[in-house]
């Protein structure tokens, strides 16, 4: 499958989803913080410092309260540029090893955005993967969906396969499901199982429902295991399929509906 093509293989009429956001709150006012996220201008958390810094105007007036209501017909600006509803885009990237999830890297490392065409440069990644982790990575400008997919209370599943050194027995990884406390954080796997063993290594499948920083690595390392490879094989039901590392495609309409249904977002 070529970069940028949908599942049916064509650039047009391929079932990939470009969904226009409906009026905020079905014609009702929405909080400024949520509005910016819905428009893809920033995440809800990222919108707070922008608003507090006086960078946002509603109908020409600077607003510093993230709870300020935005009504249908209001003019919203960020740094003097209009902020409006954008057509939502949803892109699945097979993130390769050696790339970082950031727009620019002070160390000069290759970022995931170098793999995408300029038209996708405004999309935000949903759940960071570190430089030494490859696999499924979703990018979108749908702020509402991003919020739901990344919040632990919605229990969106993330599946990983970790290759660790040596032969590991199932009882060794049982504590992952009981919960491991490390650096003051409690980390619990929904499931963990040994799926492959060789004389020198073991592949462990781990399912999580939240995405703490380096969570899988930290959990396994706390058991004295050395992780030599980590791949996110599934995120919210999405898999890379036949995408080669570095390749991408837009999601189909059915895939977008599936993401929204499992995260409680109205389609």
Q: Enumerate the active-site residues.
A: 130
CA distance 155 to 258: 15
| Cα–Cα distance, 42 to 52 (Å, whole number) | 14
3-state secondary structure of 146: helix
Q: Is 123 exposed, middle or buried (CB count within 10 Å of its CB: 0-12, 13-18, 19+)? A: buried
Distant-in-sequence, close-in-space partners of 85: CB < 8 Å, separation ≥ 6: 20, 21, 38, 39
In whole angstroms, what is the distance from residue 59 CA to residue 102 CA? 32
- Cβ partners under 8 Å of residue 267, min gap 6: 257, 260, 261
Distance (Å, whole) CA 72 – CA 60 = 15
Residue 204 tokens read as 């462990």
Residue 107's Cβ-side half-sphere holds a number of Cα atoms within 13 Å equal to 9
* Rounded CA separation 256/249 (Å): 13
């Amino acid at each position: 499958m070529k970069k940028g093509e949908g599942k049916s293989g064509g650039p047009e009429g391929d079932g990939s989803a470009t969904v226009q956001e409906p009026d905020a709150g079905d014609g009702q006012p929405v909080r400024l913080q949520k509005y910016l996220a819905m428009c893809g201008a920033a995440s809800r958390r990222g919108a707070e410092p922008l608003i507090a810094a006086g960078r946002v105007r509603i109908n020409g007036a600077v607003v510093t309260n993230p709870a300020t209501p935005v009504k249908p017909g209001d003019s919203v600006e960020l740094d003097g540029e209009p902020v409006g509803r954008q057509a939502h885009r949803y892109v699945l990237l097979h993130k390769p090893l050696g790339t970082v999830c950031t727009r620019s890297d002070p160390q000069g490392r290759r970022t995931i955005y170098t793999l995408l065409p300029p038209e996708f440069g405004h999309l935000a990644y949903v759940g960071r993967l570190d430089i030494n982790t490859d696999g499924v990575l979703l990018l979108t400008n749908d702020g509402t969906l991003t919020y739901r997919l990344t919040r632990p209370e919605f229990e969106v599943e993330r599946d990983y396969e970790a290759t660790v050194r040596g032969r590991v027995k199932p009882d060794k990884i049982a504590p992952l499901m009981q919960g491991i406390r490390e650096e003051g954080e409690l980390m619990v796997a929904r499931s963990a199982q040994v799926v492959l063993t060789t004389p020198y290594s073991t592949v462990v499948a781990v399912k999580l429902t939240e995405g703490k920083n380096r969570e899988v690595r930290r959990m396994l390392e706390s058991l004295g295991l050395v992780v030599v490879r980590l791949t996110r094989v599934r995120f919210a039901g999405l898999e890379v399929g036949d995408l080669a590392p570095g390749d991408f495609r837009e999601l189909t309409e059915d895939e977008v509906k599936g993401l929204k249904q499992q995260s409680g977002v109205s389609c």
